[in-house]
Amino acid sequence: MVRGRDACWEHCVLVDATRQKVRCNYCNRDFSGGVYRMKFHLAQIKNKDIVPCTEVPDDVRDHIRKILSTPKNKTPKKPKANQVTNGEENSSSTSSGLHPNRGSSGQLGSTCPSLLFPCPLPIAQPAVDDAQKQKQDNADKKIAVFFFHNSIPFSTAKSMYYQEMVDAIAECGLGYKAPSYEKLRSTLLEKVNGEIRDCYRKYRDEWKETGCTILSDSWSNCRTQSIVVFSVACPKGTLYLKSVDISGHEEDSTYLFELLESIVLDVGVENVVQIITDSSASYADAGRLLMSKYSSLFWTPCASYCIDKMLEDISKTDWVGSVLEEAQTITNYIYSHVWTLNMMRKFTSGMELVRPRITRCVATYLSLRAIVIQEDNLKHMFSHSEWLSSTYSRHPDAQAIKSLLYQDRFWKSAHEAVSVSEPLINILRIVDGDMPAMGYIYEGIEKAKLAIKAYYGGIEEKYMQIWDIISRRWNMQLHSSLHAAAAFLNPSILYNPSFKIDVRVRNGFQDAMMRMAVTDKDKIEITKEHPMYINAQGALGTDFAIMGRTLNSPVPTGADGTGAPLKAYIPRNTTELSWKNSMFWFLCIAIFGYNPFSKIGMENLSL
């Protein structure tokens, strides 16, 4: 009689049939003893020398545990009357696959031994939850096949519309037919385009109320075309505007100025607070020309781009460049062989040394950091008997890697490079996050420099080289009066006893105020409110407001869709300051109030 296929085989593969060696699909560990021992591994149950899987999904773990905890039903003895029919054993029909009745666990259930005689025992029905899970698994598989067959990026599953689509299909019930090619490209496209146009008009109204930021993103396609994508951000979200091919004009500051000016005029000069581009010399010149012509707006370089350039400049120093190159040699060797890669994952409990990142420079620092974290595990791997007995250990490249891993000089430089780069990478995490980060950049740079100074124990000849690199990029490219004003308008920074309002912060705020407050009435209003904010007078000095300085984001979003840090700390019925209509509130909205990651819009639609 053929046994049913065990459900555990969905989560492992047979590596060696003679030794009954199986491999886990999640952590790639190999186990002898067949699928039974693999169940304990997947269920994360310690049993003799079985190591629990650290990568198994929770639903798979719970399912395997349920299988292990369910007692096996003994197969009832078959009545003699049913054992032989017409001189042939009825088991032949079962073995030929005519009447299998398998449960979801893969074990052979009770079967009716003959077509002529009723089965004396009730047929075991699978549990409802198992049947539902099987349907869900099948649906997941169908979705996955659709992704794989059409080469759809996995990141598409993070779309806010992904689950909405699935829920809408489920509500239609059985028999729903997906829209055809023709319907997608005609009526549905027109319908969605119309909705986006309506949304676009609402966003334009929002720009007039709160101001907005123009974002530009430059990239090159496979045909070496230079494309600039423009979008507009406000407290309500970010909207795609247009894409422009600037091939051949990348270094032409006059052309870029005229391009940026056309975008500003399209959005409305009175609505634009700032324009963000990369920090190349041509864009910097174009930005300065724009600021000189339109005194109410700012040009600022992309913070991520500038901080990445700081890390790149640091990597060009001899000792940092050397240790990063050595780290890359280690990862290149390990990841170039499947066997060494699987062994590394075994010793690091599935942790990777190489992680995808937007820029190559940041990726090398993150790889070095991962190597430092796994120092002991990597040394253990290259000294383990399994490694020493392999053919890989005798290769010259492997011997060079092992020698490098046991050099104190390498680890000292690696720890130093990680300690120097980590403060800047932390700023990148804030800047690349979902919350607006303008109010933290100024303080973040200062804290990064202090952290590097503290690592070197305040010895100037050691930390000044790194400080000079950071300061050069900060002063020449990234720093602007808008960053200073953002720090000034961030209560968690301004009211922190360790924060000192230096000349650059005060001047930066005043410059931003003068640019954005166009009329004399606005300037007088800000001048009146300025000392009340500095001294935390009125509602700003209450216990509630003091607690909110550190607990709240500098950009909380109100029910009306606006985001104003100061407004969040003031009760609505307060009469000391009319923040809703004040210029302070407007400045906070303009500087903080946007989220460049909640994008709405479609590149292939013209608005």
Instruction: Give the distance from CA 324 to its chain's centroid.
Output: 24
Cα-Cα-Cα-Cα dihedral of 141, 143, 144, 150, to 10°?
A: 140
What tokens appear for 580 in the block? 């809703």
Per residue in 149-204, pLDDT (tens digit) is: 999 999 899 888 899 999 999 999 888 999 999 999 999 999 988 888 888 888 88
**Given a cut of 70, is residue 370 above it in pLDDT?**
yes
pLDDT tens-digit readout, 55-75: 888 888 888 888 877 765 544
For position 412, what pLDDT does the model report? 95
Return the pLDDT at 463. 93
- The single-letter DSSP state of residue 222 is T
Query: Contact, 533 vs 583, CB < 8 A?
Result: no
Cβ contacts of 110 within 8 Å, gap of 6 or more: 73, 75, 76, 101, 119, 121, 122, 123, 124
The pLDDT score that the predictor gives to residue 568 is 30
Task: Name residue, tokens 């893969």.
Answer: 106
Q: How much is the pLDDT for 48?
A: 60
pTM value? 0.57
- What confidence tens digit (pLDDT) does each residue in 4-51 have? 467 787 888 877 766 678 888 888 888 777 787 888 888 888 766 677
Helices 360-373 and 318-335 cross at an angle (nearest 10°) of 80
* Complete domains list, the chain, with CATH: 7-69 (no CATH), 129-172 (no CATH), 194-301 (3.30.420.60), 313-423 (no CATH), 480-592 (no CATH)
Q: Which amino acid is at 519?
A: T
Q: Kindly report, residue by residue over 130-158, the tens digit of the pLDDT.
A: 888 888 999 999 999 999 999 999 989 98
How many angstroms separate the Cα of 470 from the Cα of each of 314, 319, 365? 9, 17, 16
DSSP per position, 444-486: HHHHHHHHHHHHTTT-HHHHHHHHHHHHHHIIIII--HHHHHH
Strands (E) located in 186-318: 212-220, 226-234, 237-245, 272-277, 298-301
Q: Where are the alpha helices (DSSP H) in 318-437?
A: 318-335, 338-347, 360-373, 375-383, 385-388, 396-405, 408-431
**Would you say 110 and 119 are in contact if contact means Cβ atoms under 8 Å apart?**
yes
Mean per-residue pLDDT, 385-401? 92
Which range of 119-133, 225-239, 374-388 scores highest in mean pLDDT? It is 374-388
Distance of CA 543 to the CA centre of its chain: 36
Q: Which long-range contacts (CB under 8 A, 24 or more apart) does 90-96 make?
A: 90/114, 91/1, 94/1, 95/1, 95/2
pLDDT band at 418 (very low <50, low <70, confident <90, very high): very high
Share of the chain above pLDDT 70, in %: 77
Residues paired with residue 216 on neighbouring β-strands, in sequence order: 230
**Interatomic CA distance for residues 239 and 592, integer angstroms:** 17
Tokens of residue 197, six digits: 């146009």
- Long-range residue pairs from 200-204, CB within 8 A, at least 24 positions apart, any chain: 200/239, 200/601, 200/607, 202/236, 203/232, 203/234, 203/236, 203/237, 203/239, 203/600
Which tops the pLDDT comparison, 502 or 409? 409
Strand-strand pairing, 272-277 and 30-31: unpaired
pLDDT band at 526 (very low <50, low <70, confident <90, very high): confident
**Which pLDDT score, from 0 to 100, does residue 470 have?**
92
Tokens of 79: 């009545």
Percent of the chain with pLDDT over 90: 33
On the question of pLDDT at 212 being above 60, the answer is yes
Q: How many C-beta neighbours within 10 Å does residue 399 have?
A: 12
Backbone angles phi, psi at 596, to 5 degrees: -70, 5
pLDDT exceeds cutoff 80 at 126: no
